Amino acid sequence: MSKRTRNRNISLENIEIINTASKGKAIAKHDGRVIFVKGAVPGDICNINVYKKRKKYWEASIDKIIKESKLRTDPKCSHFGTCGGCKWQNMQYDSQLEFKQNEVLNNLHKIGGIELSKFDKILGCEEIYNYRNKMEFTFSNKRWLTKEEIDNKEEIIDKNALGFHIPGMFDKVIDVKKCYLQKDPSNNIRISIKEFALKNKLSFFDIKKQEGLLRNLMIRTSTTGDLMVLIQFFYEDQEKIELLMNFLKDQFKEITSLLYTINNKANNTIYDQKIICYSGLKYINEKIEDLSFKIGPKSFFQTNSKQAEVLYKSARKLANISKDDIIYDLYTGTGTIAQFVSKNAKKVIGIDSVPEAIEAANESAKNNKIYNCSFFAGDMKNIFTDNFISEHGRPDLIITDPPRDGMHKKVVEQLLKIKSKRIVYISCNSATQARDVALLKEKYLISKMQTVDMFPHTHHIENILILELR
């Protein structure tokens, strides 16, 4: 049953949710049309409101749940549904894993034209809350107002927020009371900073007007107990900066790396900014297996440390490395995977486009007393050439862990030309992984697959494919 409203939205009744979709949405069908529904769980029967209509699909939100799915569970976070960060928190974790595995298989089939009959069961997380080692929060003088606050029509005095951007709204930030993604003292630090800032009249950032002192907060933790806090200020006011930094230094003795930066650019990226160490060290230490890594404020590192070890162990096991193997680690980052597999190999060559990451990789390899790893900086499609391979040796095994966009076509072409015996393809985006493998299957067969969940309550997933030369 349906009816058109004055604003041309459509209300549909008794719609069954049949599957999950990309970006944490769910799928329903009506009169042969696909509908993506926010906040729904497969098995729900709902009344929905269609707010966006396209030729190939519609988008909708739930008006009323008529019958709840057996897969549903109560979300733990009070911000669920508004924040947008943990869109599957209303679904049982075992079911999340099943749908994630199915998404990988569907992408391989639909995009890559590959049908797998055998694969290892997805590896889930032991800790499904407080698993992130890095969180970033935004200061804003335009916090997101709840419907109750708006309907109340009373004057709202405090409009400041320290939290997350509302999805699709760059200038609105939800004031987070408690987040379940990072272990304590993350929440306490964030709340204390906001209270101190309000008490001492430190201005919060206005992204439209580009004004306000406090801009961003980053908190990094590690399994070793180290704790990094970085405050991003919009302009230099040494008196106020020192006021806040001294408060953090005195109040939170567990902070081992207290940093700040002055960023007056239009965007809040810090990779081109000078980082000032106010107290402690310039980095924190992380340990995976028997390897130690220094992580600075600009360093890329898997945001789930414990599950990163599961991922790397799985990749190493599936790779079946020989002592005589020359390994190339493409998109090596700070060289974590390269070092992780190095003791099983003859030589490992790591390549990445970020010079700072390569510097960190060389330093950590030295600290870990690993002498068979070499790291090189450069654009992958330009550095990964015949001349480079001639100089450093033809690889027996290639490990590639590209960004979400996947590999450049020239890199894929080079892989086909080299004809390495095995390729270990690790991906955080099974769609682009499937696209690349569709090109590689000309000369390679998928022999093994292992999916690893790194981010519970989200649609994100890591997938390992082992490709064997035909």
Examine the pLDDT at 261 and tell me if it is beyond 50: yes
Domain 2-71 shares a fold with domain 134-288 = yes
Q: What is the pLDDT of residues 103-147, one digit of tens each?
A: 999 999 999 999 998 899 999 999 999 999 999 999 999 898 877
N- to C-terminal Cα separation, the chain = 54
- Local confidence band at 84 (pLDDT 50, 70, 90 cut-offs): confident
pLDDT at 401: 96
Report how far residue 429's alpha carbon sits from residue 219's, in angstroms, rounded to the nearest whole number.
26
Average pLDDT over residues 77-82: 90
3-state secondary structure of 84: coil
Report how far residue 404's alpha carbon sits from residue 333's, in angstroms, rounded to the nearest whole number.
14
Q: What is the pLDDT of residues 322-362, one digit of tens each?
A: 999 999 999 998 899 999 999 999 999 999 998 888 998 99
Q: What is the pLDDT of residues 24-55, one digit of tens each?
A: 889 999 999 999 999 999 999 999 999 999 98
pLDDT at 2: 44
Contact 402, 425 (CB under 8 A): no
Name the nearest CA neighbour of 208 among 244, 173, 233: 173
Report how far residue 353's alpha carbon sits from residue 378's, in angstroms, rounded to the nearest whole number.
4
Contact 184, 252 (CB under 8 A): no
- Local confidence band at 454 (pLDDT 50, 70, 90 cut-offs): very high
Examine the pLDDT at 291 and tell me if it is beyond 90: yes
pLDDT at 149: 75
pLDDT at 5: 42
DSSP type of residue 290:
T
pLDDT at 157: 76
What number does CATH give the domain 134-288?
Answer: 2.40.50.1070
Q: Which residues does 301 contact at the CB level (< 8 Å), separation at least 6?
A: 133, 134, 286, 293, 295, 308, 333, 334, 336
| Better-scored residue on pLDDT, 85 or 250 | 250
pLDDT at 22: 80
State the pTM of this model.
Answer: 0.90
Number of alpha carbons in the 13 Å side-chain half-sphere of residue 189 = 27
How many C-beta atoms surround the C-beta of residue 424 within 10 A?
A: 25
Packing angle, helices 430-440 and 409-418, rounded to 10 = 40
- Class of 97-128+302-469 in CATH: alpha beta
Report how far residue 355's alpha carbon sits from residue 357's, in angstroms, rounded to the nearest whole number.
5
Examine the pLDDT at 382 and tell me if it is beyond 80: yes
Report how far residue 285's alpha carbon sits from residue 360's, in angstroms, rounded to the nearest whole number.
12
Examine the pLDDT at 186 and tell me if it is beyond 60: yes
- Sign of the Cα torsion 426, 428, 430, 436 reads negative
Q: Which residues are catalytic?
A: 428
Break the chain into its structural domains and give their ranges: 2-71, 97-128+302-469, 134-288
Average pLDDT over residues 255-282: 95
- Local confidence band at 395 (pLDDT 50, 70, 90 cut-offs): very high
Q: What is the pLDDT of residues 220-243, one digit of tens each?
A: 999 999 999 999 999 999 999 999
Q: What is the pLDDT of residues 212-223, one digit of tens each?
A: 999 999 999 999
pLDDT averaged over the chain? Answer: 93
CATH assignment of 2-71, among 2.70.150.10, 2.40.50.140, 3.40.50.2300, 3.10.450.50: 2.40.50.140
Q: What percent of the chain has pLDDT over 90?
A: 84
